[in-house]
Chain A
Amino acid sequence: MTLDSLVPGQSARITYLEPSHPSLIRLSEMGFISGQHIQLIRKAPLGEPFKVRVMNYELCIRKSEAAAIHVEPVSLTA
């Protein structure tokens, strides 16, 4: 599954990034690399963008980027 299908509050581990995504390198540089712990904190009022926690800091990305980040959920606690 991909990051955009997590429930807000849910944590996961990144498995891989879509290799053909145009922002692949920047996403990796911002800390989205496989094995990293990641949390979808919340979605903006209109459903997008997403507030995400990775490498102990927070950032926001749009659905199109989130959909390129493949994850495996690790817990359901908020």
Chain B
Amino acid sequence: MTSSSSDNSRPPLVALVGNPNTGKTSVFNALCGTRQQVGNYPGVTVEKKTGSFDWDGQTIQVVDLPGLYSLNPLSPDEQVATDGILAHAPGMPTPDLLIFVADSTNLKRNLLLYSQIADTQKPVIAVITMMDLLDGEGVQIDIDQLGHCLNIPMAVLTKGDAKQVQQLKNIIGDALDQPPIPTVCLAFEPAIGSMLDDLQHMFPQISRFDARALLFGSQNVRVGDPMLGAMQQKVQALREQADSSNLTPAALVTQRYQWAEAIVQRVEKRSEKALTFSRKLDRILTHRFFGLIIFAAVMFLMFQSIYTWAVPFMDLIETGISTLSDVVGSSLAARPLLASIMVDGMIAGVGSVIVFLPQIVILFLFVAVLEDSGYLSRAAFLMDKLLGWTGLNGRAFIPMLSSFACAVPGIMAARVMPDPKARMATILVSPLMSCSARLPVYILLISAFIEPRFGASWAAVTLFAMHGIGLLIALPIAWILNKGILKTPDMPFILELPVYRLPNWTNVVFRAYEAGKKFTVRAGTVIFAFSIIIWALSYFPRPDHIADDIRAQAQSQDALLIDQQIAGAYLEQSYLGTAGKAIQPIFGPLGFDWKITVGILGAFPAREVILSTLGIIYQIGEADEESDDLKQRMAAESWPDGSQVFTPLVAIVLMIFFALCSQCMSTLITVQRELNSWKWAGFLFTYMTALAYLLSLVTYQGGKALGLG
């Protein structure tokens, strides 16, 4: 894939280019069908869609470049697309042909980009989409006339028309044999032309496009060798000349639009129609009252579905995992070490992560539908002001809200944010939202220590507060990250509100599938490795005499009880247990004893693990948030001086700690993958742990000073 276009051994490559939402992906799907893959461009998280089709006995490769509005890129998406067009894209050969995809309902703005592409003098053909929507908009377009004006081969493609697809393939095949170089029919002021001529005359190695970029300030000048002194001088002189004749970059855009306007006047008839269905719908969906209500309802539905629809599938996975554990455990009963490494290490570790798969798939189905239908940009419109002051924008809302169900899909959903720094800030605050894995911890502590003393209402208030605290803290943290650490540039929030459309179901399913696949692969690799490490720390060393001593001293004949005591004793003297005891003084000021400390350490892979760890330490076997045994044992725990360990204050402090800390291996690894950096994953862990510690400390010490606890 790194050969150049002159290399005859590689199949020809065509690239789809165009404004966002023009139907590029639909054209791509029509051409390639299932012969497609999704990858990433090296170094950025921009999706790279490639595929191929056969024409006349040869294979033609297709790449679907991200949508862009102009060759002066503002986002990583646009940068990749621009680089792809100008043939600077890393890991991608120069396309042999560009396929310009234009939305017929929005011709004028589409032609602006076309005029910039034509300036590059690369071979290009055009595909006109959305022809079926023209009637509704009251527009007529003369396609032949348009082809005539642009003087390049042109195809139309309306969804699902097989004949049109074949025609398009023919046009592509023919164009590859005879590259149609767009004649620059832009009637720019002769002044610009002569300045470009002037520069190109002195430096013939510069292309027309680069000459224009040099003089009119595009960010995409890559002339090859560093600018020669003489060239620099000449460019400077010509720029001054341009400025004095009022030929600024903005004036150039105006000229391009004048060219587009002239074409539109010749090919398009527009009658003022009554409001289209889409615009009527939008009146309601962006209404300052009903819009918000509907938005809340949509978000509630999404949240609810991640929470509840996923449950049967998650139960199924959990049942599968525990069956697998049982089978493996009993068939390896003769080899306890191997059984433990498989069951408590690998299966439990990967299982605790894989159970999130249904949530991820459901969330991505939702996000894909919201995005494809055009609603996502309305949601961003409604929410922008709320998030704007933090340096984020309305688009951050979806990842943050999703994180209330689970941070892993939430972090992945941050891909909807085009600006890399704002996206990074969103990723770094999303795990503060109270995810569903914190719920078992809250429920155990609330039902054991809050509800019995203060009643059901206070229990509900506590639960609500635990969900609010993350959000309340996330916004100022986002502000600090954006303004202080990442120095996120103040990006303009210029967002197209595309016409509402029925989503493309192939796209929707494909995206959910891709998200699920990526996640599963991750669970099978890095998370697998981490699980074994944590398991080893809680298993070794394992001197035989401990079990022997307990058996020898055992008063009861209850084998189960003895096994529980042995498990507890082994955990206590394991590396993890020793570490817990050693660092307990750090957690002492928060009111935590060494058992809670071990619980916190053991919960590094996943928060809810604290329940089973406490279960082992308190020697009650299998524990979950419903176990009355565990609650009683916890309530009975006392310090050496006889005072209770779990006062309501300590319960609250522990909940605050879990609300804010970053006890989730899946989250950290997802962050590492999405940002391609262990450093930021480490930063996330550090800042969240520090925050959790500080707030817990303040709460505990404050509470004690007020005489609570």
Contact = CB atoms under 8 A, between A and B. Distances in A.
A53 to B, nearest CB: 9
B492 A48 contact: no
21 contacts: A23-B494, A25-B253, A27-B494, A29-B69, A29-B70, A30-B69, A31-B109, A42-B286, A48-B388, A49-B385, A49-B493, A51-B286, A56-B108, A58-B279, A58-B282, A58-B497, A60-B494, A62-B384, A62-B388, A62-B492, A65-B493
Interface string A29-62: 1110110000000111111110100011111111
Interface in B505-526: none
Nearest to B254: A33
B494 A19 contact: no
A63 B40 CA distance: 35
A46 to B, nearest CB: 4
B180 to A, nearest CB: 25
A42 to B, nearest CB: 6
B108 A31 contact: yes
A7 interface: no
Interface of A: 17, 19, 22-31, 33-34, 42-49, 51, 55-62, 64-65
B292 A45 contact: yes
A26 B492 contact: yes
B250 A25 contact: yes
Main secondary structure of the interface of B (DSSP, over half): helix
Interface in B112-138: 112, 137
Interface of B: 69-70, 72, 74, 105-106, 108-109, 112, 137, 248-250, 253-254, 257, 270, 279, 282, 286-289, 291-292, 377, 380-382, 384-386, 388, 394, 490, 492-498
B492 A61 contact: yes
B253 A33 contact: yes
A62 B381 contact: no
A48 B388 CA distance: 10
Contact of A34 (B254, B385, B490): B254
A10 to B, nearest CB: 16
A57 B492 contact: no
Contact of B257 (A19, A33, A65): A33
Contact of A56 (B106, B249, B384, B490): B106
B249 A25 contact: yes
Contacts of B279: 58
Contacts of A34: 254
A19 B243 CA distance: 13
A46 B291 CA distance: 12
Contact of B385 (A26, A31, A46, A64): A46
Nearest to A33: B254
A24 to B, nearest CB: 5
A26 to B, nearest CB: 6
B492 A56 contact: no
Contact of A45 (B137, B248, B270, B382): B382
Contacts of A29: 69-70, 72, 112, 253
B409 to A, nearest CB: 26
A57 B109 contact: yes
A44 B109 contact: no
B108 A28 contact: no
Contacts of B282: 58
A13 B70 CA distance: 24
B385 A48 contact: yes
A31 B111 CA distance: 11
B189 to A, nearest CB: 16
A65 B254 contact: no
B246 to A, nearest CB: 10
Given A28-B254, A45-B288, A55-B109, A23 B492 contact: yes
A1 to B, nearest CB: 20
B495 A55 contact: no
Contacts of A62: 384, 388, 492-493
Contacts of A22: 490, 492
Q: Which of B108, B249, B279, B492 has the most CB of A within 10 A?
A: B492
Nearest to A64: B492
Contacts of B270: 56
B385 A44 contact: yes
Contacts of A45: 288-289, 291-292, 382, 385
Contact of A26 (B69, B287, B288): B69
A60 B291 contact: no
B497 to A, nearest CB: 4
A17 B248 CA distance: 13
Contacts of B292: 45
A18 to B, nearest CB: 10
Nearest to A50: B381
